[in-house]
Amino acid sequence: MRVYPYNVERCLSMIRTSEPVPAGLLAALRSHTWFAACDERFQLALLAEGRLHYLSAGDTLFARGQEGDGLCCVVAGALKGVSVNPRDGSQRLWLYLEPYHWFGEISSLDAQPRVLDAVADQDSRVLVVPRARLEAWLQQHPEHWRDLARLACSKLRWMLAASEDQDTLPLAQQVARRLVLSSSNMGQAPWGHWRRRVRLPQEFLASMLGVSRQTVNKALRELEGEGLLQLGYAEIEILQLEALTRRAGTFDPVVYPGMKLPVDLTWPAGT
pLDDT at 73 over 80: yes
pLDDT tens digits, one per residue of 165-207: 999 999 999 999 999 999 999 999 988 889 999 988 899 999 9
Nearest 5°: CA angle at 70, between 68 and 72?
A: 120
Q: Return the higher-pLDDT residue of 5 and 128.
A: 128
Alpha carbons within 13 angstroms on the beta-carbon side of residue 257 total 15
pLDDT tens digits, one per residue of 199-239: 888 999 999 998 999 999 999 999 999 999 999 988 999 99
DSSP 252: -
pLDDT at 7 over 60: no
> What band does 270 get if pLDDT is binned at 50, 70 and 90?
low
- Cα dihedral 112/208/101/82 (nearest 10): 40
Helices and strands, counts by H and E, the chain:
11, 12
Q: What is the pLDDT of residue 271?
A: 64
Q: Are 75 and 97 in contact (CB under 8 A)?
A: no
- Displacement of CA 87 from its chain's centroid (Å): 27
Choose among 185, 170, 182, 180: nearest CA to 219. Answer: 170
Please list, residue by residue across 5-25, b when 16 or more beta carbons sit within 10 angstroms of its beta carbon and e when fewer do: ebbbeebeebbeebeebeeeb
